[in-house]
Structure 1
Amino acid sequence: MDEAVFRRAARRFYSGGDFKGTVKEVTANRKDGERHCTSCGLPAGVATLSACQRCKAIDRLVFYCSKKCQTADWKTGKPPHKTICGKKGAIAESFLAPKSAVPAAEEEDDGFPPPNPGYKRSPALLHQLKLLKENPQVDYVLVRPYPYEDHGVMLQDAMGGMFFKLCMRRAVCGHSPRQVGMMFKQLEPSAARAKGFGVEKLKKQLFKEYGVDVDAEE
């Protein structure tokens, strides 16, 4: 919310003349559990809040103080509201943190076991691990050329997701064609649905990351 709009709203709720507070000051003093604007954080006592009707229908309470805040959260919220609006238990499959222009050059603390002695992870694999660290809500990232947005994949089946992570933890430690082949099978449906990506690009990406030709493993 703009400061000017905020001050006009505040004057309607606070008596005694001019209001000196700022959006930041009011949101910092907001009580836990108090209804507030999802975008700017203003509490109900200062701003007139409207609920998202699609989310209200599934018993999720999401409020906005203005059309501007609703539009901002729809596009750039964390996650963007358009990816979860009206969806029960939704986590945006395509929502990712801002993409890095340059792949990681060195290994870092990525939450995976260290590589086996003599095994060097490829730059593409290091970049994948970096993206997964930045986006822990997804299981794998379909990488598109910069500056286009990457596509996060979150496997819906809980057991399948656990199996995929187990395969990946083994594959990142050393040359593991069988594990990569099983990862491909899990990712294939998502890659086929991803606009502008496809199964063949998934095969190429896995080859860049792991040096494994999944067609040769079938």
Structure 2
Amino acid sequence: MTIASALRFTALGLLIALSGCSVLSSQPPSTTYDFGPLAAAPSQPPAPLPKLRITQTDGPIWMDGSGIYYRLQYTQAQRLQAYSTQRWVDSPQHLFNDRLRDAVAARGPLSWSGDTTIPALKVDLLAFEQVFDSPTSSRGVVRARATVYHKGLIGQKTFVAEQPAPSADGQGGVKALSTSVDAVIAAILDWTATLPLDGAQASTAPPAPQRR
């Protein structure tokens, strides 16, 4: 190979390398979100909860990742898409579970998840998406099924919350979904407080020794 040919190959390699760097540098960085701080406590305290344990929140397989999903209801209602540069810091199930545990602890004693002597609350996320009804209007939709059990089913109910997004983009969707999460959790715990949890816990307690 001549010196001229070698120089041409070297120049070509540099151009390819620079082109690759240009492509990589042109990709915008990802922005990550969580649900933000807990909302301020309401002026009217909610009903307290008896001792309760929380099992891991589950959801469909597409919620295992950290994508923020949206649906163009007005044109592609059957298609669920993820934002390319905006993500959650963790999966929606994990974020929801942490939020739920904090909310339970604020209303009563929270036991560790392996304590089978007390009732358990299990939540399955069924929907967790930003729905666009038009190019400029969207809402955060959270649908969840709550199950309370202890040596058998105590209660089960599905809850839905929808909140309008303040802007028609991923950031607006995050705010709407975060608000919807808090609304769903509050509704779940209000319902849970109406269930006979104290009786379920007492029914499995060992009998008191009789005096002779």
- TM-score calculated relative to the size of structure 2: 0.27
> Rg bigger for which structure?
2
Give the helix-richer structure, 1 or 2: 1
- TM-score calculated relative to the size of structure 1: 0.27
Give the strand-richer structure, 1 or 2: 2
